[in-house]
Chains A and B, each alone.
Chain A
Amino acid sequence: MATDAPQFPTATAGTREPDGRPSYIAPGQTLRSITDQISALVLGRPTGMGWYASFAFSTLLLLLFMGVIAYLIAVGVGIWGIDIPVAWGFAITSFVWWIGIGHAGTLISAFLLLMHQKWRTSINRLAEAMTIFAVMCAGVFPLLHLGRPWFFYWLFPYSNTMGLWPQFRSALIWDVFAVSTYFTVSLIFWYIGMIPDLATLRDRATTRLARVGYGMAALGWRNSARHWERYEIAYLLLAGLATPLVVSVHSVVSSDFAMSNLPGWHETVFPPYFVAGAIFSGFAMVLVLAIILRKVYRLENFITVDHLDVMAKILLATSFLTSYGYMSEQFMSWYGADVVERYLYTNRLIGFGEYAVFTWIIVFCNVLAPQVLWSKRLRRNQPVLLTVSVIVLIGMWLERYMIITTSLHRDYLPSSWGMFHPTVWDILTYLSSIGLFLVMFLLFVRVAPLISMSELRGMVPGTHAHGEGR
């Protein structure tokens, strides 16, 4: 891919600050070089063949997704393998998977900001974008699962001629509020964070279309010191609001399961276990995106190997939290006195005629595979890190699949036992939803600043008259 953007020295792997601290920005960067490199990704760089090819592929996937949805709406959820007792199949699995992926974005952008973790600066924008697109994908699935998706607005409390209200005591309605709030707040946070960068693009735009487009999106931002004062406070407050929100969202998602009294779902460990799993899978997705983007768009100056290293550490830590969830579930079923529950968890482990094979794949993907990240050399080895991340993403999808199918297929009454067999439509709906994510993400890298320039400028040494940091 040819580029007419100016070339800059690229950081070598393992560059360190002189005193040995990790380096989250390549040495020698100036305000000018940051602005030039990042805005050139959008304004200067010609749209390459690689982008077109990826976009064509993703659009085909998206079209397939729309086709599958059209068929579903025309025929009904009977095209899926769901039955009684396993009434929740791929759709709810994919919903939990997608929304879990989104959680790492909010965690990076909001929680790490509150914790003064400077390494968030070059990855927060793309992680937030990932959040928004993942939540969009997630939101589709419960709606499709409704059976009559065109009545989705019945989920909202509005004054209707039926004289009915949603049942607010149901965790499923909590989900509606949690997910829609999460989407809205993530969008606000992302947009507010992007306003100064949109102003930069407006000021650098060479075509009238770009100038007017970015100008409207920047809302007339003029970098006034008086504006910055309010902006920083508002940004910090939003981070403070988004952090408990992200914990609440997956806790509410877990309540969809834990509030029922089904063996395998009725667990007090579910909220923290789900939140940990969400962050785990989300960091895996951020790593996949960061490793690919820094290579394709030559962002090694800003997304350094130290970034990947510290994210790999979080991946390892959250792997342990998730493993703790697995063990706690097994322990409680053994320690408790419920025969049905004990049977169910034993069945998960040794019921090879049913779903036990998934349990052991999950143990490999989510517990064993991340252990290679103990090695610093492997944490900084991008192919290894990419492989582990993909394995974790697969493992986390299977984990939700296991939780849903194993618990539903063996409940209290042996007469109501059954099995779930996915149909081709189940698989196509899940796989093609990745097309929606990819299309959105490819458009994002083409039109929006991929890395926060205004925040990176504050990372350049000597940019603060006194004190350090944002």
Chain B
Amino acid sequence: MNPPTPYYGLLAEFETPQAVLKATRRARREGYRVMDAYTPYPVRGLGAALDVPRTQVPFVVLAGGLVGAISGFFMQWWTMSRDYPFNVGGRPLNSWPVFIPIAFEVLILIASLSALFAVLFLNGLPRPHHPVFNVPRFTEASQTGFFLCIEALDPRFDPEATRQFLEGQGAKEILEVPHGAP
């Protein structure tokens, strides 16, 4: 498969979170859309600057919690009052108050598993290989570096103009991100 662009994008490294935030906002005002920022901790405002849509994670967790609570309760109701009715101390077969604790635990369990899988799935992880990893300097993204990558797929992308734009934002260094080992 031949990638449609000669390289993945241009990666600019900045010294401070303020600089990468400013550059991202400017890039967006310039019309760039296919881009991402990489920072060693979550920087306030970067998501808004990249116009990241509201995440779906809470809805997945809510759905997981509802499924957990209903199935946890149903499991007890069905086994205790339908499949194997068993009189314990004259309590009603559907003695629902004592089914609440387990329904609650299953709610938490399924909701938490949903949160784990939602964040991994929506983030496209696990994905051990990605073009940005081809830049040796990118190891700093998990330590002290603040990066902005404008991808070549962006309709506004132009190898020269984009590079000049990033230089104008005070980038410490601008690196080409290759697609990967040929």
Contact = CB atoms under 8 A, between A and B. Distances in A.
Interface of A: 30-32, 35, 157, 163-165, 167-169, 171, 173-174, 177-178, 181, 184-185, 188-189, 191-192, 196, 199-200, 202-204, 215-216, 219-234, 237-238, 241-242, 244-245, 248, 252, 255, 453-455, 457-458, 462-467, 470
Identify which of B50, B98, B111, B112 gathers the most chain A CB atoms within 10 Å of its CB: B112
Interface in B96-119: 98-99, 101-102, 104-106, 108-109, 111-113, 115-116, 118-119
B115 A219 contact: no
A465 B17 contact: yes
Given A168-B76, A188-B115, A188-B116, A224 B108 contact: no
Contacts of A244: 104, 108
A464 B17 contact: yes
> 6 closest pairs, A vs B, by CB?
A219-B126, A203-B139, A234-B119, A228-B42, A165-B79, A225-B37
B109 A225 contact: no
Interface of B: 16-18, 21, 24, 36-47, 50, 52, 55, 57-58, 61, 65, 75-76, 79-80, 83-84, 86, 88, 91, 95, 98-99, 101-102, 104-106, 108-109, 111-113, 115-116, 118-120, 122-123, 125-130, 132-133, 138-144
B109 A169 contact: no
B80 A165 contact: yes
17 contacts: A168-B102, A185-B112, A191-B116, A200-B40, A202-B142, A203-B139, A223-B142, A224-B37, A225-B39, A225-B42, A226-B52, A234-B119, A453-B40, A454-B40, A464-B17, A465-B18, A470-B42
A64 to B, nearest CB: 33
Contact of A224 (B38, B79, B119): B38
Contacts of B111: 237, 241
A465 B119 contact: no
Contact of B133 (A178, A188, A222, A241): A222
A230 B128 CA distance: 19
A215 B129 CA distance: 10
B58 A233 contact: yes
A200 B143 contact: yes
Given A181-B109, A233-B58, A31 B143 contact: yes
Contacts of B99: 168
B101 A228 contact: no
A196 B141 CA distance: 10
B38 A178 contact: no
B17 A463 contact: yes
A241 B101 contact: no
A220 B102 contact: no
Contacts of A30: 144
B118 A234 contact: yes
A439 to B, nearest CB: 26
B108 A181 contact: yes
Contact of B57 (A215, A230, A454): A230
Nearest to B130: A222
A455 B38 CA distance: 15
Nearest to A205: B139
Contacts of B143: 31-32, 35, 200, 203-204
Contact of B46 (A177, A225, A242): A225
Given A165-B84, A222-B130, A234 B47 contact: no
A31 B55 contact: no
A225 to B, nearest CB: 4
Contacts of B120: 219
Contact of B52 (A157, A191, A225, A241): A225
A31 to B, nearest CB: 4
Contacts of A241: 61, 65, 108, 111-112, 115
A185 B143 CA distance: 28
A457 B42 CA distance: 9
Identify which of A164, A224, A455 gathers the most chain B CB atoms within 10 Å of its CB: A224
A302 to B, nearest CB: 15
A35 B143 CA distance: 6
Nearest to A234: B119
B144 A31 contact: yes
Contact of A223 (B52, B109, B129, B141): B141
A204 B142 CA distance: 9
Contacts of B76: 168
Contacts of A455: 41
Contacts of A163: 84
B47 A248 contact: no
A174 to B, nearest CB: 5
B12 to A, nearest CB: 14
A202 B120 CA distance: 18
A468 to B, nearest CB: 9
A292 to B, nearest CB: 28
Nearest to A191: B116
Nearest to B104: A248
Given A169-B80, A219-B128, 20 more contacts: A31-B144, A167-B88, A168-B102, A169-B91, A169-B95, A174-B105, A181-B105, A196-B40, A200-B40, A202-B142, A203-B139, A203-B140, A222-B138, A224-B36, A228-B41, A229-B42, A230-B122, A233-B55, A233-B57, A237-B111
Given A165-B79, A165-B84, A203 B142 contact: yes
Contacts of B16: 462
A79 to B, nearest CB: 33
A173 B76 CA distance: 11
Contacts of B45: 465-466
A254 to B, nearest CB: 12
B39 A168 contact: no
B55 A220 contact: no
Contacts of A196: 40-41, 142
